[in-house]
Amino acid sequence: MKYSNNKIFIFSSEKEIGPLVSKILKKRYPEKKKNLIESAHQLADAVEKLKKHYKDRIYFDIMILDLKIPLSERKKFIKVVNENQVDYECIIASATSALKRDEINFIRSISAYIIPDISEITLFPLLQHVIQNKFSEKKYLLINRIDNVIGSEIEGLQALNHIVNLTLEYLDLRICWIALVDYREKAFNIAALTGFGEYEQEFRDAFDLTLADKAVISECVKSKEQIQYKNVLDADCPFKYKELAKKMGLKSILITPIFDRRGITSKKVLATLNLYTKFYHEFLDDELELTRIIAAKITAALFTKGVYKTEKR
């Protein structure tokens, strides 16, 4: 993943900074981040937006604080950030060539970066560095925790539930679930799911998918490739439960095949890993690679945890 799904927050007196950051990121990551950037020009508005998104469990991985905002206001804002235990990397945008001691002490106290201005050429490399580091850290922690589940005494579907919960949390998804392929019945079964909340029973009651259906997971099994759609409500997206998608606010979808690694000459799809996002999103190469790694881990879990029953070959 080239960047995190989480938001960038900009607290600046300059109203042009928000559109500038969107423009910079869209050049490298087309159609990304334009809905993932929040900006505020007054302290009250900044604090309100921070608390709102913290409540919604959407964290600001990157915050840009302009030194044109008075130091006293910045300190108050950072106090709220710390009180809410918000995860962030702070980037200070400065239009000054010389900093006073209290400004230097402030920057040191929050372990912030500092740049001489907010021009495109100055800001982009730093944003790119922070975004990539954030994902690398999350990727390592997620894979490590999944390995811990596989190596633990947790058995059966409970182990799969732990894995989908971790994937949902670390990738900031709307829902995450695993569908098992039943080749004898030519149908799918729900193995584990999370994020459905009050709609879980409705989904379970409505779930009835076969390999013959025109559905996203059927498409994945037949092609043995990852399948993604930016909008599950588009007419060309064969997602069967669109009314439920509307109610739940599902946006984009990525389906990854989970293979039987015992095959020598060919791979058989045993299950699918199904990710649905909160925001419209095109999955990039690093994200696709990560989900393939998670799928490989799930393959191990299916057999070591006794979920998948070996069929005669």
Domain ranges of the chain: 7-135, 151-304
For residue range 123-158, list pLDDT tens digits in order: 888 888 888 888 888 889 999 999 999 999 998 899
As a whole number of angstroms, the distance between CA 111 and CA 82 comes to 13
Q: Residue 218's pLDDT band (boundaries 50, 70, 90)?
A: very high
Angle between helix axes 71-83 and 101-109 (nearest 10 degrees) is 10
Write down the pLDDT at residue 158: 93
DSSP β-bridge partners for residue 10: 39, 64
- CATH architecture designation of domain 151-304: 2-Layer Sandwich (3.30)
Q: What are phi and psi of 86, to 5 degrees?
A: -80, 135
Two structure tokens written together for 46:
């900044």
Q: What is the CATH class of 7-135?
A: alpha beta
Write down the pLDDT at residue 2: 42
Lookup result for tokens 């829902």: 175
| CA 54 to mean position of chain CA atoms | 16
As a whole number of angstroms, the distance between CA 215 and CA 239 comes to 6
Pairing mode, if any, of strands 89-93 and 60-66?
A: parallel
Write down the pLDDT at residue 32: 53
Where residue 156 falls (left for φ over 0; alpha for ψ -120 to 50; beta otherwise) is left
Q: Does 193 have pLDDT greater than 80? A: yes
Write down the pLDDT at residue 311: 45
Q: Is the entire prediction scored with pTM above 0.85?
A: no
Q: Does 36 have pLDDT greater than 50? A: yes
